[in-house]
Chains A and B, each alone.
Chain A
């Protein structure tokens, strides 16, 4: 009974194995193979039983995991523990009809054969769906290129076949040589790359740059269009340079140099050179900028520019032409004030939605932007932006506000990101999932974006895409929309890269802002700062052309050169040897008669980078200088001291000034000055009523004179 059952179940199993792919309602039939399989099974079982009889495994009982045919009293177990129970077993009718055996046989035969080649299937694989693919396939077919297995092209095969043995050998040698050459070049490149000498690399770079310049010039003459393309490339390089932090004197090296610069001339020069290089690299080409200006005629682009400028100004950027004047700021302020009066029905929703936006790295630029609006309520602003966004008007004001909205949202994202990072670093739930329950209010805005994107600059577009992509809204409708609008962004990786580029750009624009101010800083102060900055920018703009520092350095270099003593060449051509046109005196002779000027004393301004000390006598100044030491002085220092002491009221107090300027002799008009008397000099006490002379330095009579006077009067 049990054997029967087992046989039945086995049959069912085998049937199921064979008919896996077939629909269930196939009629089952007993087959001729049935008996064979049964025998095999039995044999195996027997073997198992024998092996179990004489060993340690006798006691081992399989754990029962499934309902089995046989349940022992020791343990729950199935007899055929090695096999799995299949659903078909259970569903199978207890008895199989033998009428189906023939069908089963047929099917088995079919199965034993190799799988059928599906004629259409291959076609399907190769067939190109998109027009681009079609084009590619066409090309491949035309050139007889292998589509699937690119080992050897048919042409190559043919040529191989056509070649004789010798030719093939030659060909192979050629190939070998080429390979060797290639490997040699590669090795060389690797070696060169490994060279650590900075000077070498610098030289190489310089040579390359020179070569490129030469080629460009050549190209300009030969092929103007190609030259234009090249120019664009240069422009792009400039942009990259502007984006990067290279040559900004902000690196580790530059900082160390800045410390050294105070004492080390070379370091200073190096720093200056770097700055000059930065300037050179970031200098805008005239033609390009002009064309840009022309292009920027449309209102939309102007707006974009404005927005960029605003960000720039907030960040205290260095690019002066990108600055907007304060008036525009004021204008914007008005614009922003307007929406404040509007009702705010959706404000709450929007703030919610912003909470749920994905956490992304965002521009630092907008920090300033944020600060400026810190006094306003966030909700107000958001509501305003939302309203504008939903209106979807094409007029400029709405566009501007839209831009603001965008920047604002990014800013909020940023702030949220930081907050979240602090709060939940362990949170593993993907942000995409968190976004799923996004409210319905956000939809129209998000949907409208691609349309607006088309109107804005490519730059903006890219950025927006980046934003958009980051959202990764799972809704099928939105996705479809996106796919329709942007067929290019199939993959995420490149887009992310692009997005990072955008971030870089913004970063660069803000690198110059020395300190990130807190939100608590009042707006008024900031505005004042802006005015100041504006002033500075104006000045910078006005004097953008002249590089004073470089001019000064050049001037100093020239002065140093000029002050160096000159060698004297006493060579007489033709003396002691042949002379004439094209004949130079021999090197030996020149060497002999060249009197090397002795090196002069070190310059006084050697260690003063910002000073040029000219030690030459200036005849214009000399005309005003005292040549000989004047009579009463015995040393020039005495004289200098008298000259250097100022006597004017500018440098002295009033009293000191009066004292210093009192004349030695003061006479009053209308007063008779009588001759001096002996009493006046102090010899005898007497009134000096009649002496109206006031002597500044008490009496010029010397002691000797006085004595004489005394003597005389005694006489």
Chain B
């Protein structure tokens, strides 16, 4: 009798190594898997909910400073190293993995106003209220060696900020004027002024390294080219800009943190209109830093919170706050784009996750696939009202919450008044100014 048997090629179902995934035969016939959209919607909803459930961004608080933290600096080569300067002139170097201070230097008398690391990561510069610029070795002094700066430059005026060139041994300071220094010299190569007010911050462009921008108390942002002796152009805004930050991925984009609670992203080629006006803070924005991916930036505000904005969005995607965090003075996004550090008035440096619900540590491939899938789902269904509501929902401290309400009312009132004025005046006599243009007073070249 002939017996018929099933015969299959083992290659089709036996995996080659035990590390391979088992081959699972699947039928993708859409009739067998109905209700794609509703099912994915539910998955997206669940993913969104889970995201909120696991949103625990706060990682650690680095305490040790005896006064408010005034400035922060990243190490260009080491992710674990962070430098911070306090209002009492103390500089501390922290190891993030251990969450400990590895070095503390009494660098200045009075505030440490600004701080920057050299591009090679061997030394760092500080400026303080004592009108000095000091260069320090990154490494701790050997046993018995005294803790003192490599170089100290005594200036005539107070320096309020410092930044180092990304490729050359050149740094720039700001105060009364913008000075560009050679590391080897005790006098600046070039000094540039435009107006008479004190300049609060100066920043080198990380891509077009000859370019630098500064912001002054007379409400203007001035752009310079290091190769010229005169500034390039300036834009005058409604209120004073506290600091600016260049986008590390787009050479001519920078964002300015303004006193009027807003942040303005400018294209330096067209300063008359900001690209995006970022609104969400309810108090002056004190600091801003770009994510190394160039897609997002973080802002620190006087309203005791930090917010994360997508570059192209006018609203923040995230707000971080804790009960004990006071006015946040400085903020930095780490070079691996995973963490955010912020230094605040109450002497603490806080470490946050950049993505609040991200799982730290190693992910298996399946976890990663699930994460990616969920992320895509959230993105796909982000316009659906329920998902939107859940994703947007944040708990806010009462002060901020009430401030938001109040400001909304104020804004509404202003808008209404504007409309009324427009309505009750001769057509054309009252120009309609867009929200973007409203804040730019003038652009000067």
Contact A673 B33 (CB under 8 A): no
With A667-B293, A673-B292 in contact, do A623 and B381 touch (Cβ < 8 Å)? no
Contact B40 A652 (CB under 8 A): no
Is residue B337 contacting chain A, with contact meaning CB distance below 8 A? yes
Alpha-carbon distance A658/B376, docked complex (angstroms): 11
Which segment of A3-11, A155-163, A511-519, A625-633 sits at the interface? Answer: A625-633
Find chain A residues with CB under 8 A from B248 CB: 673-676
Is residue A712 contacting chain B, with contact meaning CB distance below 8 A? yes
Q: List the B residue with the shortest CB-CB distance to A665.
A: B293
Find chain A residues with CB under 8 A from B33 CB: 650-651
Partner of B336, one of A644, A672, A712: A672
Report A472 CB to chain B, min CB distance, Å: 54
Report B221 CB to chain A, min CB distance, Å: 19
Find chain A residues with CB under 8 A from B185 CB: none
Is residue A669 contacting chain B, with contact meaning CB distance below 8 A? yes
Q: List the B residue with the shortest CB-CB distance to A653.
A: B28
Contact B336 A678 (CB under 8 A): no
Contact A693 B293 (CB under 8 A): yes
Find chain A residues with CB under 8 A from B208 CB: 712
Contact B251 A647 (CB under 8 A): no
Partner of B384, one of A626, A648, A668, A671: A626
Partner of B292, one of A642, A644, A674, A677: A674
Report A650 CB to chain B, min CB distance, Å: 5
Is residue B182 contacting chain A, with contact meaning CB distance below 8 A? no
Find chain B residues with CB under 8 A from A623 CB: 385-386
Is residue A433 contacting chain B, with contact meaning CB distance below 8 A? no
Which segment of A342-350, A479-487, A701-709 sits at the interface? Answer: A701-709
Contact A646 B37 (CB under 8 A): yes
Is residue B52 contacting chain A, with contact meaning CB distance below 8 A? no
Find chain B residues with CB under 8 A from A663 CB: 372, 375-376
Is residue A421 contacting chain B, with contact meaning CB distance below 8 A? no
Report B208 CB to chain A, min CB distance, Å: 6
Find chain A residues with CB under 8 A from B383 CB: 626, 630, 639
Q: List the A residue with the shortest CB-CB distance to B21.
A: A654
B 84-128 binary contact with A (CB < 8 Å = 1; else 0): 000000000000000000000000000000000000000000000
A 556-570 binary contact with B (CB < 8 Å = 1; else 0): 000000000000000
With A625-B385, A675-B292, A678-B207 in contact, do A647 and B250 touch (Cβ < 8 Å)? no
Find chain B residues with CB under 8 A from A676 CB: 207, 248-251, 294
B 368-403 binary contact with A (CB < 8 Å = 1; else 0): 010011011100110111100000000000000000
Is residue B269 contacting chain A, with contact meaning CB distance below 8 A? yes
Is residue B39 contacting chain A, with contact meaning CB distance below 8 A? yes
Find chain B residues with CB under 8 A from A675 CB: 166, 206-207, 248-249, 292
Report A579 CB to chain B, min CB distance, Å: 52
Instruction: Name the residue in A642, A670, A712 with the highest tally of chain B Cβ atoms < 10 Å from its Cβ.
Output: A712
Is residue A397 contacting chain B, with contact meaning CB distance below 8 A? no
Report A217 CB to chain B, min CB distance, Å: 52
Find chain B residues with CB under 8 A from A624 CB: 41, 384-386
Contact A667 B40 (CB under 8 A): no
Is residue B194 contacting chain A, with contact meaning CB distance below 8 A? no
Alpha-carbon distance A650/B43, docked complex (angstroms): 12
With A667-B337, A675-B249 in contact, do A661 and B292 touch (Cβ < 8 Å)? no
Contact B373 A705 (CB under 8 A): no
Contact B380 A661 (CB under 8 A): no
B235-291 at interface with A (beta carbon < 8 Å): 248-252, 269
Report A654 CB to chain B, min CB distance, Å: 9
Contact B385 A669 (CB under 8 A): no
Is residue A634 contacting chain B, with contact meaning CB distance below 8 A? no
Alpha-carbon distance A700/B377, docked complex (angstroms): 22
B 2-44 binary contact with A (CB < 8 Å = 1; else 0): 0000000000000000000000000010100100110111010
Is residue B151 contacting chain A, with contact meaning CB distance below 8 A? no
Alpha-carbon distance A650/B28, docked complex (angstroms): 7
Interface size on B, residues (CB 8 A): 43
Q: List the A residue with the shortest CB-CB distance to B211.
A: A712
With A667-B293, A667-B338, A676-B249 in contact, do A646 and B36 touch (Cβ < 8 Å)? yes
Report A179 CB to chain B, min CB distance, Å: 77
Contact A651 B28 (CB under 8 A): yes
Contact A647 B384 (CB under 8 A): no
A599-645 at interface with B (beta carbon < 8 Å): 623-627, 630, 639, 642-644
Alpha-carbon distance A678/B385, docked complex (angstroms): 42
Contact B40 A648 (CB under 8 A): yes
Alpha-carbon distance A630/B380, docked complex (angstroms): 12
Main secondary structure of the interface of A (DSSP, over half): loop
Find chain B residues with CB under 8 A from A627 CB: 385
Alpha-carbon distance A643/B40, docked complex (angstroms): 9
Contact B336 A670 (CB under 8 A): yes
Contact A647 B79 (CB under 8 A): no
Alpha-carbon distance A465/B141, docked complex (angstroms): 125
Partner of A673, one of B77, B251, B269, B293: B293
Is residue B295 contacting chain A, with contact meaning CB distance below 8 A? yes
Is residue A662 contacting chain B, with contact meaning CB distance below 8 A? yes
Q: List the B residue with the shortest CB-CB distance to A627.
A: B385
Alpha-carbon distance A658/B368, docked complex (angstroms): 11
Report A95 CB to chain B, min CB distance, Å: 105
Find chain A residues with CB under 8 A from B76 CB: 672
Contact A658 B292 (CB under 8 A): no
Is residue A660 contacting chain B, with contact meaning CB distance below 8 A? yes
Contact B79 A670 (CB under 8 A): yes
Instruction: Name the residue in A630, A646, A653, A709 with the highest tally of chain B Cβ atoms < 10 Å from its Cβ.
Output: A646
Report B303 CB to chain A, min CB distance, Å: 28
Contact A668 B336 (CB under 8 A): yes
Alpha-carbon distance A644/B336, docked complex (angstroms): 36
Report A679 CB to chain B, min CB distance, Å: 11
Report A335 CB to chain B, min CB distance, Å: 34
Find chain A residues with CB under 8 A from B295 CB: 665
Partner of A644, one of B37, B335, B338, B385: B37
A68-95 at interface with B (beta carbon < 8 Å): none
Alpha-carbon distance A626/B381, docked complex (angstroms): 9
Contact A661 B372 (CB under 8 A): yes
Contact B336 A652 (CB under 8 A): no
A674-688 at interface with B (beta carbon < 8 Å): 674-678
Report A627 CB to chain B, min CB distance, Å: 7
Alpha-carbon distance A289/B103, docked complex (angstroms): 98
Find chain A residues with CB under 8 A from B335 CB: 672-674
Q: List the A residue with the shortest CB-CB distance to B370.
A: A661
Report B236 CB to chain A, min CB distance, Å: 24
Find chain A residues with CB under 8 A from B337 CB: 667, 673
Find chain B residues with CB under 8 A from A712 CB: 208, 251
Contact A647 B380 (CB under 8 A): yes
Report A670 CB to chain B, min CB distance, Å: 6
B 159-172 binary contact with A (CB < 8 Å = 1; else 0): 00000001000000
Find chain A residues with CB under 8 A from B384 CB: 624-626
Q: List 27 A-B contacts (CB under 8 A).
A: A623-B386, A625-B384, A626-B384, A626-B385, A644-B37, A646-B37, A646-B40, A647-B373, A648-B36, A648-B43, A650-B36, A651-B28, A657-B369, A658-B369, A661-B369, A662-B372, A667-B293, A667-B336, A669-B360, A670-B336, A673-B292, A674-B335, A693-B293, A701-B250, A708-B251, A709-B251, A712-B251
Q: Which 10 A-B pairs have the closest CB atoms?
A: A673-B292, A675-B206, A675-B248, A646-B36, A661-B372, A672-B335, A630-B383, A667-B337, A661-B376, A676-B249
State the B residues within 8 Å of A (CB): 28, 30, 33, 36-37, 39-41, 43, 76-77, 79, 166, 206-208, 248-252, 269, 292-295, 335-338, 360, 369, 372-373, 375-377, 380-381, 383-386
> In the complex, given contacts A639-B383, A643-B381, A674-B292, what are 20 additional A-B residue pairs having Cβ atoms less than 8 angstroms apart?
A624-B41, A626-B384, A646-B36, A647-B380, A648-B36, A650-B39, A651-B33, A661-B375, A662-B372, A663-B375, A668-B336, A669-B336, A671-B336, A672-B336, A673-B337, A674-B335, A676-B249, A676-B294, A693-B293, A708-B269
State the A residues within 8 Å of B (CB): 623-627, 630, 639, 642-644, 646-653, 657-658, 660-663, 665, 667-678, 693, 700-701, 705, 708-709, 712
